[in-house]
């Protein structure tokens, strides 16, 4: 079966599908030629869907991607830049949660958007594990607290850098500075090896966080949990995550206990525009703030 077919009665011969294919698998002979797939290179297709998505007439059909999975783009639903900026600026890292669990349907809706996050070579390696309910999260907390105490007793550099002694004391006194009383923890996990698996997971988790905010679900990147999973790999297995996969991102999640009324300030963006390659002095000057 060819990688794709083209309806020659619909094709405009505009060459858009040829131009956008990142693997150069779409060819045509001359400016009026009909697009055709490069023979014998089907395995090089990364299933990005660009060739189908760019076609203005729907003339191209991809053998690996059902055409019904390519809904038309509704330009009227595009967010104005001001609306998107407002959404991003109203997102907060939530550390106070209501005890109720988030419906699975809400998580499904969030993940239905987050699954479209970009990944290296479109490998889409990210899978998700979601701890559901405070008892499950509290059980994980007990394991993390035990790891903290061991690091403190061993007087490791990590325990000093992270201030684990104070965190462990707080947990022992009933103040949860690790999971913050969240009813869920969301783990994005990927194969340990791949094109860009660690980056893919962080990007996907970031998309999850942004979309969750739109659904009224608060999140916070779980730093202590991440360090515990990195230094105590058996915790990853306790989560049911298969051998050979790692967890580059974990989010506390739940319904926020409080409503924020104002956006908050952040430092101005630091940026350097380079019209060419810069040397040491030039680079330092272009980054200096007046």
Q: Examine residue 129 and state whether it is found in any structural domain, yes or no.
A: yes
Q: Examine residue 21 and state whether it is found in any structural domain, yes or no.
A: yes
Which pLDDT score is estimated for 179? 97
> What is the value of pTM for the model shown?
0.91
Q: Kindly report the average pLDDT of the chain as a whole number.
A: 94
- The total domain count for the chain is 2
Identify whether residues 104 and 188 lie together within a single domain: yes
Exposed/middle/buried for residue 225 (C-beta within 10 Å: 0-12, 13-18, 19+): buried
CATH of the domain at 42: 3.30.70.20
Of the pLDDT bands very low, low, confident and very high (cuts 50, 70, 90), residue 164 is very high
User: DSSP characters for 123-189?
Assistant: ----EEEEEESHHHHHHHHHHHHHHHHHHHHTT-HHHHHHTHHHHHHHHHTT--SSSTT-SEEEEEE
Identify whether residues 112 and 242 lie together within a single domain: yes
Of the pLDDT bands very low, low, confident and very high (cuts 50, 70, 90), residue 277 is confident
Query: For tokens 């319904």, what's the residue?
Result: 255
| Residue span of the structural domain in which 137 resides | 90-254
Q: What is the pLDDT of residues 236-269, one digit of tens each?
A: 999 999 999 999 999 999 999 999 999 999 999 9
Ramachandran bin of 155, using left for φ above 0, alpha for ψ from -120 to 50, beta for the remaining angles: left
Q: Examine residue 240 and state whether it is found in any structural domain, yes or no.
A: yes
Identify whether residues 44 and 12 lie together within a single domain: yes
The span from the CA of 16 to the CA of 247, in Å, is 38
């Amino acid at each position: 079966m060819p990688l794709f077919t083209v309806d020659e009665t619909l094709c405009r011969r505009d060459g858009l599908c040829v131009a956008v294919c990142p693997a150069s698998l779409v060819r045509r002979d001359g400016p009026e030629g009909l697009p055709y797939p490069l023979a014998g290179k089907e395995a090089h297709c990364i299933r990005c869907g660009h060739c189908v998505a760019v076609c203005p007439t729907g003339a191209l059909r991809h053998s690996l991607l059902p055409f019904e999975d390519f809904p038309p783009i509704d330009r009227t639903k595009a967010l104005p830049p001001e609306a998107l900026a407002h959404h991003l600026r109203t997102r907060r890292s939530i550390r106070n949660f209501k005890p109720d669990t988030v419906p699975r349907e809400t998580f499904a809706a969030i993940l239905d958007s987050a699954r479209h996050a970009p990944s290296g070579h479109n490998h889409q390696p990210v899978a998700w594990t979601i701890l559901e309910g405070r008892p499950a999260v509290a059980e994980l907390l007990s394991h993390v607290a035990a790891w903290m105490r061991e690091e403190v007793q061993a007087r490791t550099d990590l325990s000093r850098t992270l201030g684990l002694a104070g965190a462990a004391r707080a947990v022992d006194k009933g103040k949860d500075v690790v999971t913050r009383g969240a009813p869920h923890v969301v783990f994005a996990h990927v194969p340990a090896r791949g094109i860009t698996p660690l980056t893919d997971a962080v990007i996907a988790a970031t998309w999850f966080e942004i979309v969750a905010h739109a659904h009224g679900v608060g999140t916070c990147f779980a730093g202590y949990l991440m360090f515990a999973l990195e230094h105590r790999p058996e915790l990853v297995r306790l989560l049911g995550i298969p051998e050979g996969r790692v967890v580059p991102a974990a989010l506390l999640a739940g319904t926020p206990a409080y409503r924020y009324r104002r956006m908050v300030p952040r430092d101005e963006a630091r940026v350097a525009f380079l019209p060419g390659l810069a040397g040491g002095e030039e680079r330092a000057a272009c980054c200096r703030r007046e």
